[in-house]
Structure 1
Amino acid sequence: MKWSKVALTLVGIGLTSIVNLSYAAPLRLASHQAVYDLRLEKLGENSGIEGVRGRIVMKVEQQCDGLIVNQRMLLELINFEGNIIVSDYSQSTWEDNVGRMMRFDMSNMLNGQLIEKYSGIAENQEDGTIVKFSNPDLADMTLPRDVIFPGEHTRQILKAAAAGKNLLSTKVYDGNGEDGLSDTLAVIGKAQTLLSPAEATNELKGQTFWPLQISFFDLSQQQTEPDYKVGMKIFGNGIATDLQLEYSDFTLRGEVAELTLLAEEKCS
């Protein structure tokens, strides 16, 4: 169960064979920091879990040469015996603005013990997408040529939404080590305008958003049912609100507790 993966990816969906598209001027995303408070919305049958709560902190920095995303997801789970499990997941990525290369660094801890950590570079090349790990020392991975990365994922869903598309799919590598490749299917709702925002999201008043749900499938398992689903409202500047994280054992609702727009880097 990959409930430790934020896959924020919170957003994004790509077009098939995206690496074959011409590299036009990329869509620039809003630099911002968002804090999401997570609460339990639904428990699955036989989950063995009594309660879940948590928080996501995401910082997005749109720079002239690339996109930096730092995210951390902290979950506290309580089982029926009253035992507490604390999951602490962190990831940092840098992508160039045309989606050809990504550097990544992720770690996942349970109750203070490191259970996995990956660092490396993924790059779209002529014969496929190559993932080279610097930590741990693993063999290179060769992925299909049409794989894209989360920043490009986000840009492409915004372009698709603006064009009126409502169903898109692509393969995404998100930097989560050897298990970071997913097949995704997204459903984009009709454009709406935010008229009555909550206090924390007042900066978004009057802006256009699209309801969005993305299903993530583990390609290594050849599953017909998604591994997990992420729902949200996605705004034209890339900011996401009203999260819904649906895993096999539980579903979480994420509301924006804090939203800060950051200064944009001046580019020539």
Structure 2
Amino acid sequence: MNITRLGVAAARTGATAVVLGAALSGAAQAAPTELLTHRAVYDLSLAETSQAAGISGVSGRMVYEFTGGPCEGYSVAFRFVIQVSDERGQTRVTDLQTSSFEDPASKAFQFLSKTYVNRKLSEETRGRAEHADDHIALDLKKPDEREVRLSGTALFPTEHLRRLLEAADKGETILVADLFDGSETGDKVYETTSVIGARRDGPGSPGEEDAGAVAKIGDHPHWPVTIAYFDSESEDTGERMPAYQLGFLLYDNGVSRRLKLDYGDFELRGNLSDLTLIDPVTCKQ
């Protein structure tokens, strides 16, 4: 079990305003409403597990902060802390801390990620990616300093969110796109397939989540969304299985809740426990 991948996936789900970043002038026109700058807290727990996973318990918290404005771009600060216990009674605490910035035109994407295991730095990734004509030019500083050319036109997180909200607003049910978000070794591209459910009006029932936090989202329509991530470097020739899948409720203002991280042999649940609204950065006149 690679605990770091839990954090990687959570960072992508983490409130889809989300690592999918945020809206820019174009997104504000495409989406029904402006995306909400906010700080969301999710309590993490083990939903399901199989014997193969070797997991006896999981507890943790995920904090996602989305700030900025449509003229200067948006920043995401994210922290994912999780304690995993195995069947032998051993525990491992993983602390993933990431920050990223995507410019207003979604042309450039900067990212920094640090992973601590039992309080010791285990991995660090830092770099800057920029769209070119038919590729992404990547200036990677960590884990090693090098320049990389990524073929194709993979979307950055903000672009992906924009496409997802546009598709949902049009009533489309499938979105297929390559995604680059600086995760893992910093030079990885994932193939993604998003399945978008039927639109639901209003905030919906809070269920097991904090009713006050859900109420702060506002009276916005939302959609159930599941995103499957496929390793683009996989050599599988048969029916491909996703590396993992993320499920959540996505609101038209970019907030997400009722998270589910599915790794095949175990699932994590992320319940919204607190939501703080943050004033957006206004455009200079």
Check whether TM > 0.5.
yes
TM-score, normalising length: structure 2: 0.85
Corresponding residue number in structure 2 for 1:257: 273
Please list, as runs of the form range in 1=range in 2, the aligned pairs for 1:103-118 lying within 5 A after superposition.
Answer: 103-118=110-125
Corresponding residue number in structure 1 for 2:221: 208
Paired residues in the alignment total: 259
SS at match of 2:26: coil
Q: What is the rounded CA distance, in whole Å, between the counterparts of 1:222 and 1:53 in structure 2?
A: 34
Listed as ranges, the gaps of 5+ residues in structure 1 are 14-22
Corresponding residue number in structure 1 for 2:157: 150
Listed as ranges, the gaps of 5+ residues in structure 2 are 19-23, 29-33
SS at match of 1:140: strand
Corresponding residue number in structure 2 for 1:87: 94
Q: What is the rounded CA distance, in whole Å, between the counterparts of 1:37 and 1:264 in structure 2?
A: 25
CA-to-partner distance for each residue in 1:46-99, whole Å, 9 max, x for gaps? 111111111110000132211100111111000111111011111100001221
Q: Does 1:221 align with 2:234?
A: yes
Q: What is the rounded CA distance, in whole Å, between the counterparts of 1:90 and 1:184 in structure 2?
A: 23
Pick the structure with more strand per residue: 1
8 Å CA contact retained: 1:196, 1:205: no
8 Å CA contact retained: 2:61, 2:80: yes
8 Å CA contact retained: 1:9, 1:174: no
Structure 1 residue 248, shift from structure 2 partner: 3.5
Pick the structure with more helix per residue: 2
Structure 1 residue 24, shift from structure 2 partner: 6.9
Q: What is the rounded CA distance, in whole Å, between the counterparts of 2:40 and 2:25 in structure 1?
A: 29
Q: Does 1:25 align with 2:26?
A: yes
SS at match of 1:264: coil
TM-score, normalising length: structure 1: 0.90
Which stretch has the larger CA shift, 212-221 or 195-204? 195-204
Q: What is the rounded CA distance, in whole Å, between the counterparts of 2:17 and 2:66 in structure 1?
A: 14
Corresponding residue number in structure 2 for 1:170: 177
Q: What is the rounded CA distance, in whole Å, between the counterparts of 1:230 and 1:81 in structure 2?
A: 28
Which stretch has the larger CA shift, 123-132 or 173-182? 173-182
Which one-letter code corresponds to 1:228 in the other structure? Y
8 Å CA contact retained: 2:229, 2:243: yes
Q: What is the rounded CA distance, in whole Å, between the counterparts of 2:244 and 2:27 in structure 1?
A: 29
Q: What is the rounded CA distance, in whole Å, between the counterparts of 2:162 and 2:251 in structure 1?
A: 11
1:49 pairs with one of 46, 55, 58: 55
SS at match of 2:6: coil
Corresponding residue number in structure 2 for 1:189: 197
CA-to-partner distance for each residue in 1:187-216, whole Å, 9 max, x for gaps? 000110224442221122421000000001
Which one-letter code corresponds to 2:56 in the other structure? E
CA-to-partner distance for each residue in 1:121-149, whole Å, 9 max, x for gaps? 00101241111112333322221332111
Q: What is the rounded CA distance, in whole Å, between the counterparts of 1:24 and 1:79 in structure 2?
A: 47
Which one-letter code corresponds to 1:187 in the other structure? V
Corresponding residue number in structure 2 for 1:8: 12
CA RMSD of superposed structures (Å): 2.0
Which stretch has the larger CA shift, 81-90 or 23-32? 23-32
CA-to-partner distance for each residue in 1:193-250, whole Å, 9 max, x for gaps? 2244422211224210000000011112245111111100000011011000111442
Q: What is the rounded CA distance, in whole Å, between the counterparts of 1:79 and 1:196 in structure 2?
A: 34
Q: What is the rounded CA distance, in whole Å, between the counterparts of 1:200 and 1:26 in structure 2?
A: 25
8 Å CA contact retained: 2:137, 2:149: yes
Which stretch has the larger CA shift, 192-201 or 153-162? 192-201
